[in-house]
Every structure is written in structure tokens, then in C-alpha cells.
Amino acid sequence: MWFDQRSATSEVVGELKNMETITYQDFEKIDIRAGEILQAEDFPEARKPMYKLVVDFGPEIGIKKSAGQITKNYTKEELVGRMIIGVVNFPPKNIEPFVSEVLILGLIDEENKVVLLCPTQKVPKGAKMM
């Protein structure tokens, strides 16, 4: 989760209205997969409250690291074992002194907290979004 948390204000809504339309071929380039969080640790070096996460995306993608601003809605204990959805083909992002390898997807709720996108039924690790 590399984004800054912002509420659904008129500024954000305005930005969404001005977003460029992409083609289906553009969308197909994004590799979105299901993964299981194996570890969640505090990230005290980060500028904003974050966790360092280790996520298993199955045998094809493997185990990847990410950092998420999800401390307001989730404890570390609640995260371990949770299935999440992530983009696995973005380039790594350096969040000193940590390198985030995937973007875990979430939505901003009315209290400006991140709510993780999660499968509602059992899916295998590495399941690809269709």
C-alpha cells in the first residue's frame, strides 16, 4: 500500500473525474493475485504508521514483502493468516530501509482508514483476478 490515505472529499472525487480512461489491454497488464499474509511486523522507521508484511502468493509468484498503512483497522495478529488481494507486477518500491515488492489493495472508509480487499470465499494462494 504505497498511497497516502485520504478521505472521499470533493478533491479526491474531482481527481477521479479527471482520470484518464484506460483500455482493456492496459488493464490486462496488471497482475492482481490473492495471497496469504504470513507475517506482520511493526515498521517503526516509516514516516507514517505502517506494518511490514510477508505475503505468500503461491508457487508461481512466491513469497513477497509489502508495507501497509493498515494499523488503524488491523492488529498484527488479525492480519496473519488473512487472505488479501495484491498487484504483483509493479516494480519494487523503496520505503527506507525496506523494499516493498507488491501493492496490497484496499479502500478508504469514512473514517479515513484502509479496509483491505479480501476474497469472500476460499481461493488458492496466487489465484488471479479475472
Residue range of the domain that includes 86: 29-116
| Domain annotation covers residue 3 | no
Q: In a structure prediction context, what are the per-residue pLDDT tens digits for the chain, which is 130 residues long?
A: 444 555 455 555 566 677 889 999 999 999 999 999 999 999 999 999 999 999 999 999 999 999 999 999 999 999 999 999 999 999 999 988 999 999 999 999 999 999 999 999 999 999 999 8
| Domain annotation covers residue 126 | no
| Domain annotation covers residue 38 | yes
Q: Could you give the CA distance from residue 116 to residue 36 in angstroms, rounded to a whole number?
A: 12
What is the per-residue pLDDT for 11? 57
| Domain annotation covers residue 130 | no
| Domain annotation covers residue 122 | no
| Domain annotation covers residue 128 | no
Strand, helix or coil at 118? coil
Residue 5 phi/psi, 5° resolution? -75, 125
The structural domain count of the chain equals 1
State pTM to two decimals: 0.84
Q: Which residue stretches of the chain are H helix?
A: 10-17, 24-28, 58-61, 76-79
| Domain annotation covers residue 68 | yes
